[in-house]
């Protein structure tokens, strides 16, 4: 199971950047049919790109803008079957067609950032993927303590 691999990979490290980099690489290696995965961290004003795998990405995303900004503002996972139906979608990679974004929160409930996964086909993600990515996000968050 990927969550167990992530736990083992991150077990002895607590640095956010190091763990985010290895986490993104692990997901990139094991999750089929994706074209981007990575982190955006909240700097107190907006989301700023963190470690990722895939094509170069947008550097900054305003809260409530696009799928990542919506996940960050609402603190709710966003599962979008076809990003072309989302007004204001931010297309860092024009090939992306579906997206799954999990908000990341500190223990006190404040926003740390988001975990974002994109795919080049519509409908790539389902409820099972959502649960899996939310579980993986919890593993990442636990590694920071």
Rounded Cα distance, 127 and 114, in Å: 18
Sign of torsion over alpha carbons 66, 63, 39, 12: negative
pLDDT in tens, the chain (145 residues): 899 999 999 999 999 999 999 999 999 999 999 999 999 999 999 999 999 999 999 999 999 899 999 999 999 999 999 998 887 777 777 889 999 999 999 999 999 999 999 999 999 999 999 999 999 999 999 999 9
How deeply is 29 buried, as exposed, middle or buried, from its count of CB atoms within 10 A (0-12, 13-18, 19+)? Answer: exposed
Q: Cα–Cα distance between 28 and 37 in angstroms, integer?
A: 7
Tell me, which fold does domain 2-143 have in CATH? Beta-Lactamase (3.30.450)
Q: What is the dihedral of CA 75, 28, 55, 87, to 10 degrees?
A: -30
Q: Tell me, what's the pLDDT at 92?
A: 74
Determine the longest span between alpha carbons in the chain, in angstroms: 42
- Residue 88 is predicted with a pLDDT of 73
**What pLDDT is recorded for position 86?**
83
**Rg of the chain (C-alpha set):** 14
Residue 79 exposure: Cα atoms within 13 Å on the Cβ side: 12
- Position 91 scores a pLDDT of 72
Partners of residue 115 on adjacent β-strands: 39, 102
């Amino acid at each position: 199971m990927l969550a167990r691999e992530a736990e083992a990979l991150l077990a002895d490290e607590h640095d956010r950047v190091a763990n985010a980099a290895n986490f993104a690489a692990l997901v990139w290696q094991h999750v089929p049919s994706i074209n981007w995965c990575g982190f955006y961290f909240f700097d107190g004003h907006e989301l700023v790109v963190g470690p990722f795998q895939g094509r170069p990405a947008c550097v900054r995303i305003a809260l409530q803008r696009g799928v990542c900004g919506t996940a960050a503002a609402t603190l709710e996972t966003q599962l979008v079957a076809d990003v072309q139906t989302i007004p204001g979608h931010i297309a860092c990679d024009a090939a992306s067609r579906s997206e799954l974004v999990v908000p990341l929160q500190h223990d006190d409930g404040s926003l740390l950032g988001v975990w974002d996964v994109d795919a080049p086909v519509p409908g790539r993600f389902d409820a099972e993927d959502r649960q899996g990515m939310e579980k993986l996000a919890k593993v990442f968050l636990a590694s920071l303590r």
